[in-house]
Amino acid sequence: MFAFLDPPEIILIVVVVLVLFGGAQLPKLAKNLGKAQQEFKTGLAEGQKDSSKSDSKGNSGTSDSSKNDSSNNDTSKNDS
């Protein structure tokens, strides 16, 4: 991951992070980043599960709209 960074550059980044956030804030920051990552993974898993359910049902959204279109056409023909 850090193959392109030399050790002095990594140390500089750590020092800048310490100065910006302070030593006491780093554990809170790491905890919040971990929670955010977990929520993101959970959301992705739910989205994939939902999309697989809709795929197994077959594109019901498009078939419903085509049914509505055909019923609308039928009523307009009856009015003429």
Task: List, for residues 3-58, the tens digit of each pLDDT value.
Answer: 788 989 989 998 998 888 888 888 898 899 999 999 999 999 999 888 888 877 76
Higher pLDDT, 60 or 11: 11
- Output the 3-class SS for 9-64: HHHHHHHHHHHHHCCCHHHHHHHHHHHHHHHHHHHHHHHHHHHHHHHHHCCHHHHH
Cα pseudo-dihedral 41, 47, 52, 58, rounded to 10 = -170
Provide mean pLDDT across the span 47-74. Answer: 64
pTM over 0.75: no
At residue 53, the pLDDT reads 80
At residue 62, the pLDDT reads 52
- Single-letter code of the amino acid located at 9: E
At 5, which helix (H) or strand (E)? none
